Structure 1
Amino acid sequence: MKAIAPIIGLCAALCSGVWLSGCQLSDATPPLSTPNNQTSPKVMTPDWGIAATLVAMGHPPVAMGDKPFYKEWVGKPLIPATTYDVGTRYQPNPEMFSQLDIDVVIDRAFYEHLRPMYGDLDVHSIELNSTNRVAAWEDFIEPTLDLGRSINQPQAAQDYLDNSKKQIIQAGQTFHTRYPHIKKLAVVQFADTNNLRMFSYNSLFQPALDAMELELVAFADGNEWGFASIMLGDLAKLDDDTCLVVVEPIGDLLKLELKDSLVWQRLGYSFDENQTANKGRCLALLPATWNNSGVASMNVLADRLMNATFVGNTDL
């Protein structure tokens, strides 16, 4: 194992939220074998998107950040129990990190401030997002292949891309069979009763919906995270032939507050799956889907849309 930088200090450890006094970790994590007899390095990543893609490619990281919250915000693919949690993504626990047997850290620019903690470990930075105003599938090919090369698995990365594209297209075909009249989707996430994030054309929702032969509707260009902030009342600008997709998490309390909201009532949406068919505007509630996991998130989004229950008027 390469030398790790000294522990940054008690204060930084406490900030990580996972202070482990006297905790010891096994350094016997076996390396992953590759088909061409190369050995995959033992990877730590603070980033959910990179972790998700590694898992989806069949080569999960040894350690990652914020593992307990991954299930709530990202969901799939599931992180194996053998992957250690090193604390928060933005400030991992240095004591925990110093005890890990790892070969390489794979991160992105958002986590650049953590690199002094890694000592002389190799660090590979990969951005699993699009820098274009309108994201396209092609924007995610090279970063995914780069991730495959970084773990000595170029063919696994290529196979993953090929299979993912096929699965997303098939999910679109199934979706159109279930809901032949739905063509346009607006995708939002609630911050509170009046404030929402609307995912825009530079988000991964754009290439995923493209492959599914669906149209993404947005009011403005997205920020670096792929969304624009809107108010609840802005949803009135959606055409009648656009279905609203609400991405979880959304708590029961917020649902109750929306039910009592005059604006929400005027908009005509409802989360009630038992409401009379064609009553109210078209809406679906989607389990948490992370917008920064590249192709891994596109796969999850396509699968969840394919299985989603749309309520209200679906005969647009």
Structure 2
Amino acid sequence: MQTGQAGIWLALVSVAKCWRFSFPAMLSFLDNSLLSARYSCYQKVLVLGLLVLLLFSLMLVSLSVGAAVSSPGQSQNAAPPRVATIDWTLVETLLSLGVVPVAAAQIKDYQTWVGEPPLPEQVVDIGLRAQPNRELAASLQLDLILISPLFSAIEPTFSQIAPVQTLTTYNPDNDFWQNLVETTRRVGEMTNRSAEAEAVIDRHRARIEQLKEEMPADTPPLLVVQFIDDRHVRAYGKGSLYDMVIRRLGLQNAWKGETNMWGYTTVGIEELTTDGYLIVVDPVPMSAEGVFDNNRIWQTLPAVRHDRVLSLPAVWSFGALPSAVRFADELYQAVTGHAGTHSGLSDL
């Protein structure tokens, strides 16, 4: 009798704990109920044992069903992890999904070379992309660190701080646009933003298609460059983000020469002999500013003589979907409303 009463008491205590949805308490609940029923010959105890067993079963089924129903939604409604990234392509991808990274690298340079989308002030600058500050990163209670293969050397050290995921956006063996789409999807999966990722993909694809329809049909070939100094530029061709956007807009890239794995090659300004548009993308280094007024080679270029030099604000040449669409927007505005060489470059 005493043993049965003790079992009943333990069972009731376990019932109270079960209402807090503690799984170990449920197991205790079941064990105590069985103990009570086993060592007591009294009918009341047996009945109580059966009742608490039934109650346990109902609660367990309820929790299982609830978990099954809520599981798909939880991944989308859950808060994103505390994520840091040293790769600017992944920074802009996160921001496009509405995820503000806890930390990023070389924020001032990001503002110069990428520009949009802007980084909020609360994002912590963890130093150089190739050599981020490990101690600072360790103090930020990170859940996830995103990198690209270019910065794989930091993975062994930073994986001791938080899980490190490497995303390969620039794969010359695959379709460039699809690479950007897959990167967006993977970042969405890792940050509980899969639905947002699909919306971003659809919106950016639609914008490119819209600009393609509106781009003048007689647009001449485009040669896109970024200045290195007053004599050399990076000319962007096959394998670059700029080239991919130009082709998706139904236009022609004037640069037919070889390119490296990043889609550009370094050439002297004397090789910029296109009769079409010469597109100069910011930033222009101080060492190159004098070329537009004082360099005789520059003045003899066909695009300069025919008033077809256009200036674009900084757009990250190694960017993701936001950079691709922003380049398309800026290119459309420049081509359809260009004001000529001097006004187009007056603020360089």
TM category (shorter chain) comes to 0.7 to 0.9
CA distance in 1, matches of 2:115, 2:236: 18
State whether residues 188 and 198 of structure 1, in contact with CA within 8 Å, keep that contact through their aligned partners in structure 2: yes
- Residue 186 of structure 1 corresponds to 223
Structure 2 contact 92–322 (Cα < 8 Å) conserved: yes
Residue 112 (1) aligns with residue 152 (2): yes
Counterpart position of 1:29:
none
Query: Structure 2 regions of 5+ residues with no counterpart?
Result: 1-72, 342-348
In the alignment, the residues of structure 1 paired with residue 137 and residue 244 of structure 2 have an alpha-carbon distance, to the nearest angstrom, of 36
- In 2, the alpha carbon distance for the partners of 1:174 and 1:78 equals 28
Question: How far off its partner does 1:209 sit?
Answer: 1.9
| Secondary structure in 2 matching 1:106 | strand
Q: 1:43 aligns with which of 67, 83, 92?
A: 83
Correspondence list, 1:167-182, <5 A: 167-176=207-216, 181-182=218-219
Name the % identity.
26
SS at match of 1:284: strand
Rounded to whole Å, the distance in 2 between the matches of 1:55 and 1:106 is 13
Separation in 2, partners of 1:221, 1:154 = 37
**Structure 1 residue runs without a partner (length 5+):** 1-32, 271-278
Secondary structure of 2:290 counterpart = helix
Question: Are residues 175 and 75 of structure 1, via their aligned partners in 2, closer, same or farther at CA, if it must alter by over 3 Å?
Answer: farther
> Which structure shows the bigger proportion of residues in helix conformation?
2
Tell me the number of residue pairs that the alignment of Structure 1 and Structure 2 aligns: 266
SS state of the match for residue 233, structure 2?
A: strand
1-side partners of 2:176 and 2:103: how far apart? 30
- Given residue 282 of structure 1, which amino acid in structure 2 is its aligned partner? R
Higher RCO (C-alpha under 8 Å, 6+ residues apart): 1
- 1:34 offset after TM fit, Å? 7.3
TM-score, normalized by length of structure 2?
A: 0.71
Does the 8 Å contact 2:142/2:161 carry over to 1?
no
Asked whether the equivalents of residues 269 and 312 of structure 1 are also in contact (C-alpha less than 8 Å), the reply is: no
Aligned position for 1:216: 253
Paired position in structure 2 for 1:128 = 169
Aligned counterparts of 2:157 and 2:90: Cα–Cα separation in 1: 19
1:44, distance to aligned residue in structure 2 (A): 0.5
Q: Which residue of structure 1 lines up, in the alignment, with residue 109 of structure 2?
A: 69
Question: Where does 1:1-316 land on structure 2 (aligned, <5 Å)?
Answer: 36-118=76-158, 119=160, 121-132=162-173, 135-176=175-216, 181-236=218-273, 238=274, 240=275, 242-251=276-285, 254-270=288-304, 280-308=306-334, 309-312=337-340
Q: Larger % of strand: which?
A: 1
SS at match of 1:198: strand
- Which residue number corresponds to residue 59 of structure 2? none
Mapped contact 1:129–1:294 kept (Cα < 8 A): no
Task: Confirm or deny: 8 A CA contact 1:140 1:295 kept in the other structure.
Answer: yes
**Does the C-alpha gap of structure 1 residues 120 and 192 become closer, same or farther in structure 2, counting only changes over 3 Å?**
closer
* In structure 1, C-alpha distance between the alignment counterparts of 2:106 and 2:287, rounded to whole Å: 25
